Copies of this chain bind each other. A is one copy, B any other.
Amino acid sequence: MQKIKIGIVGGTGYTGVELLRLLAHHPHVELHAITSRTEAGVPVAQMFPSLRGAVDLKFSDPASGILEECDVVFFATPHGVAMAQAPALLNKGIRVIDLGADFRLQDTAVFEKWYKLPHSCADVLKSAVYGLPELNREAVRQAKLIGNPGCYPTTMQLGFYPLLKNNLVDASALIADCKSGVSGAGRKAEVATLFSESSDSMKAYGVSGHRHTPETVEQLSKMTTQAVHLIFTPHLIPMIRGMHSTLYAKLLPEAQSMSNEDLQQLFEMTYASEPFVDVMPFGSHPETRSTRASNMLRMALHRHGDTVIVLVVQDNLVKGAAGQAVQNMNVMFGFAETAGIDMLPVMP
């Protein structure tokens, strides 16, 4: 099989370097270009010594046109960048996977409210597919443009999905108490995420409003006829990678007779054929490290009376970002869905 050519825009952040780690050994791809205006000419492995001997690329100037030689371009950039550059690439028949927020929200008014930026290509946006393969595989297969989900939204959607889809819980009273490792904040020089600030301590943040709420609500709303109301409380945890979402949902009266076994079976059947979703035995306590550096997401059910608690863990940089993007690429190009992303979690 001929290898496809990969371009990456914004390879100096954590999702960018994680894409490099995953794609450098992917059997069906060839890293062709990685762009950075500020680092043009610098060998990637000079910035990231972990890639010495494995990635020979240098950063290219985005203006060089090299991205147009690719089959697919990943944007691992702050919002606004993909929006500006994707249309031209799409016009040339190049597929685009945006790991940022530009193509996640179909409602541009909502986008503009949360991202303080007018959406510059609403028409292109309409063709974008929300890239959560487990819930959206067929659309991903046909897609030219993917809006890759946020890290938190991935856990919330996969955790609530079996409950909402089957109309078992009150969609107006969902609570997601979520915890993320610090790499989720990106590789930006900021005081708040210095080691001495965020180590040996934790806090909630964005409790009054976080950009992942509208994205999640838009998607959850597709699963149910009920109106969705979600309370989403993110917390910053002193670990590099890892995300733990603790989801609370109230069973509707007609579902309260379901046994724990019924619920467990429902979840297991929903994800039975998914290579990257692991439903653990009822009452388990998944650890984030059981997914570290892998594309696996694990979940487990608990119950208190009429409240179902779903514990969901993933690596925020893999299933929550770069791994999911590669999974989407695999589906789009007809590769084995696990190609290049079947590495086992690193433990300890």
- Scoring A residues 37 to 69 as 1 if CB is less than 8 Å from chain B, else 0, what string do you get? 000000000001111111000000000000000
B49-A290 in contact (CB<8A):
yes
Contact assessment for B246 and A177 in the assembled complex, using a CB-CB cutoff below 8 Å: yes
Q: Which residues of B contact A207 (CB under 8 A)?
A: 283, 285, 302, 309, 311
Counting chain A residues whose Cβ lies within 8 A of the other chain, the interface size class is 35 or more
In the complex, are the beta carbons of B305 and A240 less than 8 A apart?
no
Are B289 and A200 closer than 8 Å at their CB atoms? Answer: yes
The segment from A17-25, A82-90, A153-161, A261-269 that touches chain B is A17-25
Distance in angstroms between the alpha carbons of A292 and B286 in the assembled complex: 23
Is residue A152 within 8 Å, beta carbon to beta carbon, of the partner chain? no
Residues of B close to A241: CB separation below 8 A: 200, 348
- Taken together, the copies of this chain in the complex come to 4
Interface string of A275-295 (1 = CB under 8 A from B): 000101001111111111110
Q: Which of A189, A197, A248, A348 has most B Cβ within 10 Å?
A: A348
The answer to whether B202 touches A183 (Cβ under 8 A) is: no
* Residue pair A182, B200 in contact (C-beta under 8 Å): no
Q: A283 to chain B: which residues have CB within 8 Å? A: 207-208
A20 to chain B, nearest CB (A): 8
Which A196-210 residues have a C-beta within 8 angstroms of B? 196-205, 207-208
Interface: A148 (CB within 8 A): no
The answer to whether A14 and B182 have CB atoms under 8 Å apart is no
In the assembled complex, A231 has its CB within 8 A of some CB on chain B: yes
Q: Are B200 and A298 in contact (CB under 8 A)?
A: no
Stretch at the interface among A2-10, A132-140, A325-333, A338-346: A338-346
Known contacts A175-B248, A179-B235, A238-B195; A202/B52 CB under 8 A: no
Interface presence of A347 (CB below 8 A): yes
B202/A179 in contact, CB under 8 A? yes
Chain B hits for A203, CB < 8 A? 244, 285-288, 313
Asked if A116 is an interface residue, CB under 8 A from chain B, the answer is no
Bound complex: CA of A292 vs CA of B240, how far in Å? 13
What's the least CB distance linking A300 to chain B, in Å?
9
Most buried by B among A17, A198, A291, A304: A304
Q: Are A49 and B194 in contact (CB under 8 A)?
A: no
The answer to whether the Cβ of A307 comes within 8 Å of any Cβ in the partner chain is: yes
CB contacts (< 8 Å) of A216 on chain B: these are none
Contact A49 B280 (CB under 8 A): yes
CA distance A278 to B239 in the complex (A): 28
A151, CB-defined interface residue at 8 Å: no
Q: Is A193 an interface residue (CB 8 A)?
A: yes
Contacts of A25 in B (CB 8 A): 342-344
- Chain B min CB distance to A244 (Å): 5
- Checking B182, B183, B195, B201 against A292 with a beta-carbon cut-off of 8 angstroms, the contacting residue is B201
Report if A289-B179 is in contact (Cβ < 8 Å); known contacts: A240-B199, A241-B348. Answer: no
Report which residue of A202, A244, A307 has the largest number of chain B beta carbons within 10 angstroms of its beta carbon. A202
Closest to A303 in B: B208
Q: A348 near B196 (CB under 8 angstroms)? A: yes
Judging by beta carbons under 8 Å apart, are B196 and A307 in contact? no
